[in-house]
Amino acid sequence: MRENRLQAMWKGRPYNALLETYGAPKMVMSLPGYRAMKTSVVVFGVIDKASDCVDSFTIESHAQSGEMMVSDYYCR
């Protein structure tokens, strides 16, 4: 399943690597107070026409380093 494959591929990787691969997201939504770390959802839209997924990722900014990391992938 594509969702499982992309989840395994991106979880824990730097957000910059995601941007290098997909370019700028179509939408960014902040989730204030969602977790202890600053969290956002980035939506890229339909990248893979065969699956017709709207590809989106949860991004977390770690308090200590400030580095933004991919925490989840979603196919909607």
pLDDT digits (tens), the chain, 76 positions:
888 999 999 999 999 999 999 999 999 988 776 555 678 888 988 777 788 888 999 999 876 777 899 999 998 8
**What integer pLDDT is reported at residue 19 of this predicted model?**
95
The domain segmentation of the chain, as residue ranges, is 2-75
CATH architecture designation of domain 2-75: 2-Layer Sandwich (3.30)
Return the biggest CA–CA distance within the chain.
Answer: 40
Q: Report CA-CA distances (Å) from 49 to 22, 30, 42, 45, 55.
A: 15, 27, 19, 10, 11
